[in-house]
Amino acid sequence: MNQSSLDALIELATEKRDAAAIALGNLQSEYARNQSQLDALVAYRAEYGERLARAMADGLSMHQLDNDQRFLAALDGAVAQQERLVAAIRNRLADGKTRWQDRQRRLKSFDTLAKRRRAGEARQEARREQRDNDEAAGRTSRRANG
């Protein structure tokens, strides 16, 4: 694999890693937003349930009790739906983290390969320079002795 091919792979891997990072950030924001909505729903449901309990203790008409119980059931449904949504986003978030980690690992592998290639080229260049220096020293020595 030549250097330009390796550079192209590194560039592509970097773009994919960066895209995965952006997607992961978006998922984290979506998760936080939906978790916040779930927390608000749960808090409102608890507050409404407490108010209903106090109203029942003070006396409540059957019609009002029926309405309040239907509303609580609707709140319970909304909480359950939001919990499913948060769980689904949590799973997508975990997948997104894994995707980003895979992209990061791939990029690091290409970077490592590029570093090894550069180090090998530097060693070869150092050997060439040493050989050239040795040959020049040999010529100088032969001229001085000859």
Q: Provide the residue ranges of all domains of the chain, joining segments of one domain with +.
A: 3-121
Digit-coded pLDDT (tens) for 8-64: 999 999 999 999 999 999 999 999 999 999 999 999 999 999 998 888 888 888 999
User: What pLDDT, on the 0 to 100 scale, is given for residue 146?
Assistant: 66
- The structure's pTM equals 0.73
Helices within the chain (DSSP H only): 3-58, 62-145
Token output for 59: 């006396």
Q: Is the pLDDT of residue 5 over 70?
A: yes
Digit-coded pLDDT (tens) for 97-130: 999 999 999 999 999 998 998 899 899 999 999 9
Q: Is the pLDDT of residue 1 over 80?
A: no
User: What pLDDT, on the 0 to 100 scale, is given for residue 71?
Assistant: 95
Please return the burial class of 134, using the count of CB atoms within 10 Å of its CB with bins 0-12, 13-18 and 19+. exposed
Q: Looking at the domain that runs over 3-121, which CATH code has it been given?
A: 1.10.287.1700
Please, are residues 89 and 38 in contact by the beta-carbon 8 Å criterion? no
